Amino acid sequence: MHYISHINVRLLFTMKDKKNYLIFYILLCFSACSTTPFTELNSRDNFHLEDSSNFHVSLNKETLPVEMDPILIENLGEAAKNYLIGIGHKYSSDASLIVEISVDSKEKIRVDDHRFHTYPVYRNYLFEPNRIDTIPEFYLRISIHSQDEDKTLWTGLTKWRKGSSYAPKDMPSAELLVENLLVNL
């Protein structure tokens, strides 16, 4: 009798471990699917935008890098305007609060040392130790600037790479990227 209960406890224990692994795997999948893009935020004196504030949007179209699509920054500006109007603020071309939207690009340098490849030829080129690759990264900065005080009151930064799921390639994805920053306002 004692032997049978010992087997049942052992069987129950192994089933419990399998259940824990299954729960862990499900949580891992959910967390991987619900990640957010890189964000960096800063504010002056814990700034919060007051209800029904008047604002206008400023874009850096004149200093836009050549590889950036000008329609992209216009979509980002429109998305910021729509988001702020949607949460109760008012757009006015002569408002003292300016929502500054700037987009820029930067080349990230990566050393590809091929540690995991043992063949002398890899991807149609000869094996070169310490091969240097560059990866273009794109940055979006949204800042709230007060003309009255001549100060930046709040700023948020995010970045993405070409082909990333966070790239604002159309209006819905631009709205998601802008909302991800402005929700912290």
By percentage, how much of the chain surpasses pLDDT 90?
42
Q: What are phi and psi of 101, to 5 degrees?
A: -115, 120
Between these two residues, 163 and 74, which has the higher pLDDT value?
74
**CB-based contacts of 113: which residues, under 8 Å, 6+ apart?**
129, 130, 131
Nearest to 154 by CA among 79, 106, 65, 84: 84
Tell whether the model's pLDDT for residue 150 goes beyond 70.
yes
Contacts of 92 (CB under 8 A, 6+ apart): 54, 55, 56
pLDDT tens column, 31-68:
555 567 788 999 998 888 888 999 999 999 888 888 88
- The predicted model scores a pTM of 0.72
- The more confidently predicted of residues 69 and 10 is 69
Paired tokens of 17: 């471990």
CB of 85 within 8 A of CB of 57? no
